[in-house]
Amino acid sequence: MATEGFRALDEKSLIEYVKATPSLCSKLGNQLDDLQIKEVGDGNLNFVYIVIGSAGSFVIKQQALPYIRCIGESWPMTKERAYFEALTLKEHGRWCPDRVPEVYHFDRAMALIAMRYLEPPHIVLRKGLIAGVEYPLLAEHMSEYMSKTLFCTSLLYHSTTVHRLAVAEFCGNLELCKHTEQVVFSDPYKEFCERAQALIHGDLHTGSVMVTCDSTQVIDPEFAVYGPMGFDIGAFIGNLILAFFSQDGHADPVNDRKAYKQWILRTIEDTWNLFQKKFTTLWDEHKDGSGEAYLSAIYNNPELFLLAKRKYMKDLLHDSLGFGSAKMIRRIVGVAHVEDFESIHDASKRAYCERRALEFAKMLLKERRRFQTINEVVIAIQDLPS
């Protein structure tokens, strides 16, 4: 097995591991005295350590538990997910290096990844949204990440041979894909669309994004698999919609959050519109490349090519809305809730926010195909009765 020789590390044994690993020593300038190590993981699956020395720093993530951390051994998880996370960080980093932390070291047997430390003031986007912080470049950065990673790992860019080999590689991560299907689709209702369109992050919620006002970094792609593009886009947009509905629960006499809610809606709209523009621009630039999603006859006919792009993007919008609404429902009634709502201390306010979000998500899931633009979705949110 790839994980033979695994041992869980604590802060003391981690120091010895670092000292025995040349690539990590070099990141610390080979100055290993007085290392500071702190365990900061608060996720369901992993332990995360920040390692800081006088001449450098990095983060070590060890997927030490073969089960979901918040549930226990009754829900087993393979440690091989670390391999696919590292593979995805490298592949997504290849296409969008400004939005993905660099991987410094990967140890498959130890299920361990060392990567760039996203130092303060980086915080988890979800926490920033709860605090009411505006991030002016968020839509620009996330649309860049999604357009580049999804287009450049799809058949629109790659040959059939290259694409099939990549899909086959990620079939090994289907256990986590199965868990995703269960908690997002099978538990609320039986529905899932299985399409190997591109290498998706697989869990692109606002807790998987680290931000400052001028930096956006996507982390934690351990659920990565070749799947439908709309799953990533929908997950991110759906979580922004959840953040919107939670704002009434975080309002206070000093800040009613009304202006902030409008910023969230603009960010939702800008994220899709910028994504669509960047994605189709990449398609235009590479239509004469090795991509085999369409016959060359379509690319050589400007009218047919335009029709193909319009249909593709409309279908992708509807997929994104469907997946996004499913993710919203799962976060309200499923096994793992979101801090956006859970941090609302007033139970009646929390119930009010969750009820409005749930009702909107149900409508969006059933009626997603009537929306032709993201602006229509935003208008539908604004038109909801109080």
Q: Among residues 116, 147, 182, which one ends one of the domains?
A: 116
Dump pLDDT digits (tens) for 314-341. Answer: 999 999 999 999 999 999 997 789 999 9
Residues 172, 245 within the same domain: yes
Q: Over range 362-384, report the average pLDDT.
A: 97
Residue in 278, 368, 380, 358 with CA at minimum distance from that of residue 319: 368
Query: How many Å apart are CA 332 and CA 258, to the nearest integer?
Result: 23
Cβ atoms of 319 and 230 within 8 Å: the answer is yes
Q: Among residues 56, 90, 116, which one ends one of the domains?
A: 116
Q: Which amino acid is at 305?
A: F
- The answer to whether position 23 is within a domain reads no
Q: Among residues 88, 116, 144, which one ends one of the domains?
A: 116
Q: What is the mean pLDDT of the chain?
A: 91
User: What are 226's two structure tokens?
Assistant: 């070749």
Residues 202, 336 within the same domain: yes
- The answer to whether position 3 is within a domain reads no
Distance separating the N- and C-terminal Cα atoms of the chain: 56
Residues 62, 179 within the same domain: no
Beta strands in 9-87 (DSSP E): 36-39, 47-53, 56-62, 67-68, 72-76
- CATH of residue 39's domain is 3.30.200.20
Residues 131, 200 within the same domain: yes
User: Which range of residues forms the domain containing residue 355?
Assistant: 123-383
Q: Over range 216-220, report the average pLDDT.
A: 97
Query: How many Å apart are CA 219 and CA 208, to the nearest integer?
Result: 5
Number of domains in the chain: 2
Residues 82, 185 within the same domain: no
- The answer to whether position 6 is within a domain reads no
> For residue 187, what pLDDT is reported?
42
Dump pLDDT digits (tens) for 122-181. Answer: 999 999 999 999 999 999 999 999 999 999 999 999 999 999 999 999 988 866 566 565
- CATH of residue 184's domain is 3.90.1200.10
